Amino acid sequence: MEPIFNVTDLVVRKGDDPLTFDIGEGLTLLITERESGSSTLCMTLAGRYKQFGGTIALSGTNTTPRQRFKRVAMAGLIMLDGLERQVDTRHILREQIAWSQPFFKLIPRDVLAHPNVEPWLEVLNLTDLDVSLDVGDLTVEDRFRLRVLLALVSRPDADALVIDDIDQIRSLRLRSVILDDLVELSKHLPVVVNSVNDDPGNHADAIVDLRHTPEASKASGDAKASKEEQVNA
């Protein structure tokens, strides 16, 4: 099967080591070292940053950053999708919907019923989202889910979703809950999640370990073996 991302000799910034890896269907955990420019790597995959060198193919075709920008949704990067805590959720959704469709199309009073929103609510466990609440009054997990939802609304026909820094959810329990949601989401759309940690909950279908340590190849191999055991069980 053709990989979703085929990354070849990618040099994100001048002086960086070249990276070569593939990302396929399902949920892929991209493990990087701390302070390694991992957010910039995620932005590059999603077409929000122009790499210094190398190529990134999307579904078998080499792409420019502009092409990936249109085809890849992105969430989790504060500078791009940080939310004002004092703004109500309905307003934020209405604004994102407005940007995602032609200006002459009307937005329904019930923003959760919009065709760019409604399909993702059950998948992201947002069916009970109270859009009258300010963002700051949402739970930690619902605020992160909302950011993912907004990314999907902004790219209704996305080929993939890239999520930066899942570790910003400090609670291991809540992080596991969000990863459970992303597993469900990845059944509909390939999802790439960046982390500096391993996958103790075995959420990922595949691991791309970019750390320069002996554990890197072991982590990737263990993830593959574990998934094969689940399939054969």
For position 214, which CATH number holds? 3.40.50.300
**Averaged confidence pLDDT in the chain:** 90
What tokens were used for 107?
């937005």
Tell me which long-range contacts 118-124 makes (C-beta under 8 A, separation of at least 24): 120/149, 120/152, 120/153, 120/185, 121/149, 123/181, 123/184, 123/185, 123/188, 124/148, 124/149, 124/181, 124/184, 124/185
The residue assigned the tokens 């019930």 is: 110
- Taking 50 as the threshold, does the pLDDT of residue 230 lie above it? no
Q: Which domain holds residue 144?
A: 5-232
Q: Which residues contact 166 (CB under 8 A, 6 or more apart)?
A: 76, 175, 178, 179, 193, 194, 195
Concatenating the DSSP letter of every residue in 68-106 gives: HHHHEEEE--HHHH---TTSBHHHHHHHHHHHHS-TTS-
pLDDT tens string 17-63 = 999 999 999 999 999 998 778 999 999 999 999 999 999 999 999 99
pLDDT tens string 87-134 = 999 999 999 999 998 888 888 889 999 999 999 999 999 999 999 999
Q: Tell me whether strands 72-75 and 160-163 are parallel, antiparallel or unpaired.
A: parallel
- pTM, 2 dp: 0.88
Determine which helix (DSSP H) or strand (DSSP E) holds 185, and give its type and residue range. helix 172-185
Tally of domains within the chain: 1
